[in-house]
Amino acid sequence: MDEYQMEFATGFGESYQHCPACGKEMIPDHQECFACGVVVGRFEERSLLLKTHSEVGGVDHLTSLDIKALDRKWKQVVVNYFDQTEHMAFIRLCQKHAALPFAVHHYSEVLKINAEDDIALTMRNRALSCLSVAFEVDKRPKTPSLVIKGLQEALKWVNWLGLFLSSFCIVAGLSMPDAKNLIGLGVTFLTLFMALYIYRKN
């Protein structure tokens, strides 16, 4: 009798469920299948993640925990379907997770079953509206803050001052025979500040 058979011998008389990976029977309270060794909870989480990513576009950033939270909220919506606050809470949660396509997908699925469902149509349009607003916000050019602008301006002046000083060192080294070391120092500074100038422009 192998380990798998022994498991059933000890659990005789209990109800059984099937392993989602291999299909063999297993005792419901056990999280690991003795036939294939899969941990049921992890397998189901992974399956839910892959299924959601394949069915819903634009939600590849969601983790299995995010999807489970959104899925639980959707089930609450289905149970309390005529409660508008539940629908709005679901859309807000999707918005929080940047997963409005998840809401659009679920309301679209309802409309496939009943194309005249006013609630699903209204909520899908609301989710689409929120999605388009979020897209427009993302497209807007980001204006740098006052602090960043100030730093950029200061860096520009430091850059120009550095270029002037490095040029001065090179000229002074060339004009004064006793100060030849200034040429090397000036070339080093010139290279450094030219690199900084190119970095700022790019």
Q: How far apart are the C-alpha atoms of 108 and 118, rounded to whole Å?
A: 12
The whole-number pLDDT of residue 202 equals 62
The whole-number pLDDT of residue 10 equals 46
Q: Report angle CA 180, 170, 189 to the nearest 5 degrees.
A: 110
- Under DSSP, the state recorded for 115 is T
Task: Report domain extents, the chain.
Answer: 3-38, 60-139, 146-201
Is 0.75 topped by the overall pTM?
no
Rg, C-alpha atoms of the chain? 32
Instruction: List the chain pLDDT tens, one digit each, 202 residues.
Output: 344 444 444 444 445 578 878 888 877 777 888 788 788 778 777 887 888 888 888 888 988 889 999 999 999 999 999 999 999 999 999 999 999 999 999 999 999 999 999 999 999 999 988 887 755 545 555 555 677 777 777 777 777 787 777 777 777 777 887 777 777 777 787 787 777 777 766 6
CB contact burial 69-106 (16+ within 10 A = b; e otherwise): bbeebbeebeeeeeeeebbeebbebbbebbbbbbbbbb
